[in-house]
């Protein structure tokens, strides 16, 4: 998980100021994770990386590393 992806997360999670975004951190464990931040994260990933992810891609106990890998896999060459 690179610094650019961490910046993307920080743009979305305003309420998580004291949270350290580690690769093992699960989305559901981030303060403020709810349906609105889910939509915001989908939009931020699209804006920052030109990658389409769905809300369903974020379902389950996904870690930040899993989301970063999904973005990297779908990132245009």
CATH, residue 26: 1.10.1200.10
Per-10-residue mean pLDDT, the chain, length 77: 90 81 94 92 95 93 95 91
**Model confidence pTM above 0.75:** yes
The DSSP line for the chain is: --HHHHHHHHHH-TT-TT----TT-BGGGSTT-SHHHHHHHHHHHHHHH-----TGGG-SS-BHHHHHHHHHHHS--
Question: What pLDDT, on a 0 to 100 scale, did the predictor assign at position 25?
Answer: 96
Overall domain count for the chain: 1
Question: What pLDDT, on a 0 to 100 scale, did the predictor assign at position 16?
Answer: 66
Question: What pLDDT, on a 0 to 100 scale, did the predictor assign at position 28?
Answer: 93
């Amino acid at each position: 998980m690179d610094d650019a992806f961490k910046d993307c997360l920080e743009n979305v999670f305003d309420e998580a100021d004291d949270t350290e975004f580690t690769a093992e951190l699960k989305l559901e464990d981030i303060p403020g994770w709810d349906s609105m931040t889910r939509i915001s994260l989908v939009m931020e990933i699209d804006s920052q990386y030109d990658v389409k992810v769905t809300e369903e891609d974020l379902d389950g106990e996904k870690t930040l590393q899993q989301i970063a890998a999904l973005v990297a896999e779908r990132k245009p060459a």
